Structure 1
Amino acid sequence: MSDQNDKISPDTEYADMPAANPSLPEGWLEVVSMDMEAKGVARKPDGKVVFIDGALPTELVTANVHRKKNNWEAASLREIHRESAQRVQPGCPNFGLHDGACGGCKMQHMHVAAQVAVKQRVLEDNLWHLGKVKPETLLRPIEGPAWGYRYRARLSVRYVIKKGKVLVGFHERKSRYIADMETCKVLPPHVDAMLMPMRALIASLDARETCPQIEVACGDHVTALVLRHLEPLSDADLQRLRDFAAAQNVQWWLQPKGPDTVHLMDPGGPQLSYALPDFGITMPFKPTDFTQVNPHINRVLVTRSLRLLDAQKSDRVIDWFCGLGNFTLPLATMAREVLGIEGSDALVQRSHENYAANNATRAQGDQLAPTRFVGRNLFNMTPALLMADGNADKWLVDPPREGAFALSKALADIHQIRIGAKQTGVATEEQPDLLPPLPEGHEAWQFPERIVYVSCNPATLARDAGLLVHQAGYRCVAAGVVNMFPHTAHVESMAVFERAH
């Protein structure tokens, strides 16, 4: 069971759940909601909250309890006595609660529209319970294909000596073992069709016992496979990989040690890339670079984010956690000037290269706006560092799961100092809340008028939204979910903040 449930106490959101229905037969449970791990949530007559694998909201069920705590229990579905109208037949034979079931998806038994509704509720609940924030407007969810969407995947590989077979796929539910999967319907069809040939390939290698992983990265026109190998590959094995690449139309990359050792097996050939056609941008990337798993959703996400940001030709914009420039380069088609800030020096260099490559192909008069990329530890932000980057009319923030706490707190500290709610000086035991003084000339620095925050973790978004709204002088004018990972419990979302005058 996750840390989330380990922290349940009577004053959490589950304290608002209705009491158990006293008219139900003994042992029956009424499922009233779903948690962030896609488990059905019910309450027992004694008041305990029960998290039930496989159960859906509105269902009446009985369950097998396998873990007990003081105020909650974990269980798995035993029998459904009243089925939800949103229950559907899973689209993949590997999904379920049975032994050996794949752990990659958690919501295939629920209609995809209902999945989105649950994720919207998770976002709203997190914003309110953790941040005490209610958006003024709920954005329409961003949705896309429910199957064949996963253009990035890390497939585990194992040669099972006792069975004389190779397994390639995701791990079983709550297990270190690899699921015996012959198909995967969330992978693109051409990758799904490769799973069994991959098994045969690994089985044929001299190094079959020391190849633990194949990472898949699909671009618009190229599919790259990164083979992790723990011993040097023989010439015969390299030829087998080449034969597979020719037959399956893929590009092999090899990883003999850490991620920094990943290299193209045979130099040359087409480049891995994806397009953002609404902006005339093409993004080259390496298979180990961070890119969004779902390119269909990413295209819509970038377009909507920039529409909500509404950057004008007179605006200077900062893109925080800019990565490869997924938002930065499209912003450079709209704004006067753009600054991309990223924690990884390698990605900063790649952003520079992508900017130059795109600018070189654009017509005269349609050049990208002047854009700089800088490397900085964004988890160690201070008001002084923030002000050093100068004024920006608007911000785009796209952090990892940890969120943008230091960035949000720096904004909050500046606002609190300016309104006199917090004092500056040297912090002491007697006055631990004193903040360092703002840098000389800080009066000229201005807050961004609008912030679009793209999040892959509703809990950290809610935490940061609480800072922005209650301490930094912003309103949360809109928020909504992005169904980047259908059939999983992962909640991607976005929120828009405007300066409250």
Structure 2
Amino acid sequence: MDLDAQGIARRPDGKVVFIDGALPGELVSATVTKRKNQWEAATLTAVHRESSQRVAPRCPHFGLHQGACGGCKMQHLEASAQVAVKQRALEDNLWHLGKVRPEVILRAIEGPAWGYRYRARLSVRYVQKKNEVLIGFHERKSRYVADMRECHVLPPQVSALLLPLRALIMGLEARETCPQIELAAGDEITALVLRHLEPLSDGDRQQLRDFGARHGIQWWLQPKGPDTVHRLEEGGPPLAYALPEFGIAMPFKPTDFTQVNPHINRVLVTRALRLLGAQRHERVIDWFCGLGNFTLPIATQAGQVLGVEGSAALVARARQNCEQNQASAPAHQALAATEFAARNLFDMTAAQLVADGTADRWLVDPPREGAFALVKALAAIHQARIGAEDAEPLPPGAEGWQPPRRIVYVSCNPATLARDAGLLVHQAGYRCSAAGVVNMFPHTAHVESMAVFDLAN
């Protein structure tokens, strides 16, 4: 099975056939829909011998039928088997792309398989021919919006709002110019961000207020880009989530990046910090720190912390979160000295790495593109020190700079993790001491993972 949830079969001549809807070990009939020289694509038409891991999908909108929702890809596969597929994908990527084998496979981090998705971007479309509004994810392999009436990966209270939201938008004057509703749920507050291309009338605003009051929704409006997001009504409690094990509260705006699955995020942060093993006398750098999801918990354990992020707006929010948590922390649990810096981490150099100073440990949590420039800069310093052929000269001030003894790398893309792991292991002087998957997105093909790298000497 591949990460698009397609069963992989082979013809007698060895040609690969990807079969949508088929599971490993099954005997099926399928109709070929695309032929290439090296492979074919097909769709399942009948199952003659069923896998023991096949289950009945919970959602009526999931499947291969016309108009099926494309939000999930694996509801027909038992939840623990989904995790096994993702673990195999991680190991395959590490070996085939990076030529790296972890010394230890970490136990997968799992959590609730349903109702976990506290962040979602729902498309909105007024269908003039049918005179109705559709709200949901896109259909499978299509740009059309699925006709969704329920969604079991969304929190139950949000799934129950799909039909009322359709009625709400249908009743707005602006129903043809509202393309998107973004969900951002905190521990106490459920926020919805309405993207609107034209100014809303007073009547439309009142309808939103009335809906919010009836259903306990905090409305935000987005007339243009993400920086234009603002509350429909000021006042009330802030949108926030907690990391109770560390005594940290994280306020956020609904368009800020936060993890989709708060249940898994708490476990992810706890395990990452346990693996990081920061001590009170050590300095730690958190690369791609965002709002401080890892930075602030690290500050409860380390002696000094630097959080680096590409977005100046997120850095400002992280500083604010740090100040608020520092002010509310008991005297005996004060956060370590914590600084934040805004920097383009996709243009990192060895000289900038040296300028940021020596740190005992790193936490790296990049977006899907990975941390290639950062890892490449680290490798360049190592190659120069060992006198490798074609190595660049050491940057000024590098004589006393030391690489981190341990790196914990949190990834949302196994391919870019594997690429960066190959550099760390084969050019930067590290060994991959552990790796494992994090099932942040059950029933989808998304693979979140974590890897630990230790200096080889």
Match of 2:22 among 55, 61, 66: 55
Q: Does 1:359 align with 2:326?
A: yes
Match for residue 369 of structure 1? 336
Match of 1:104 among 68, 71, 76: 71
Match for residue 365 of structure 2? 398
Match for residue 421 of structure 1? 388
Supply the distance in 2 between the matched residues of 1:383 and 1:166 (Cα, whole angstroms): 53
Match for residue 401 of structure 2? 445
Match for residue 5 of structure 1? none
Q: What is the Cα deviation at residue 440 of structure 1? A: 2.7
Identity across aligned pairs (percent)?
74
Structure 2 residue runs without a partner (length 5+): none
Q: What is the Cα deviation at residue 438 of structure 1? A: 1.7
Supply the distance in 2 between the matched residues of 1:441 and 1:161 (Cα, whole angstroms): 66
Structure 1 residue runs without a partner (length 5+): 1-33, 425-434
- Name whichever of 257-266 and 168-177 sits farther off: 257-266
Q: Does 1:75 align with 2:31?
A: no
Q: What is the Cα deviation at residue 58 of structure 1? A: 0.8
Alignment of 1:290-309 (within 5 A): 290-309=257-276
Q: Does 1:488 align with 2:444?
A: yes
Amino acid at match of 2:14: G
Match for residue 191 of structure 1? 158
Q: Does 1:277 align with 2:252?
A: no
Match of 1:89 among 35, 45, 56: 56
Deviation sequence 1:194-239 (CA, Å, 0-9, x none): 1111011001111111111100000000011000111111111111
**Do the aligned residues in 1 keep the contact of 2:29 with 2:44 (CA within 8 Å)?**
yes
Q: Does 1:170 align with 2:155?
A: no
Deviation sequence 1:87-110 (CA, Å, 0-9, x none): 000010000000000000000000
**Do the aligned residues in 1 keep the contact of 2:385 with 2:394 (CA within 8 Å)?**
no
Match of 1:180 among 147, 157, 170: 147
Supply the distance in 2 between the matched residues of 1:234 and 1:410 (Cα, whole angstroms): 53
Supply the distance in 1 between the matched residues of 2:421 and 2:396 (Cα, whole angstroms): 28
Supply the distance in 1 between the matched residues of 2:364 and 2:147 (Cα, whole angstroms): 40
Alignment of 1:11-410 (within 5 A): 34-410=1-377
**Do the aligned residues in 1 keep the contact of 2:32 with 2:43 (CA within 8 Å)?**
yes
Deviation sequence 1:325-360 (CA, Å, 0-9, x none): 000000000000000000000000000000000011
Supply the distance in 1 between the matched residues of 2:5 and 2:388 (Cα, whole angstroms): 42
Deviation sequence 1:119-165 (CA, Å, 0-9, x none): 00000000000000000000000000000000001011111111121
Supply the distance in 2 between the matched residues of 1:78 and 1:187 (Cα, whole angstroms): 29
Q: Does 1:479 align with 2:446?
A: no
Supply the distance in 1 between the matched residues of 2:294 and 2:402 (Cα, whole angstroms): 23
Q: Secondary structure at the match of 1:371?
A: strand
Q: What is the Cα deviation at residue 423 of structure 1? A: 4.2
Count of paired positions: 457
Supply the distance in 1 between the matched residues of 2:278 and 2:389 (Cα, whole angstroms): 32
Question: How high is the TM-score relative to the length of structure 1?
Answer: 0.90
**Do the aligned residues in 1 keep the contact of 2:351 with 2:396 (CA within 8 Å)?**
no
**Do the aligned residues in 1 keep the contact of 2:348 with 2:374 (CA within 8 Å)?**
yes
Q: What is the Cα deviation at residue 439 of structure 1? A: 2.5
Q: Secondary structure at the match of 1:379?
A: helix
Supply the distance in 2 between the matched residues of 1:403 and 1:328 (Cα, whole angstroms): 19
Amino acid at match of 1:152: R
**Do the aligned residues in 1 keep the contact of 2:178 with 2:195 (CA within 8 Å)?**
yes
Q: What is the Cα deviation at residue 46 of structure 1? A: 2.1
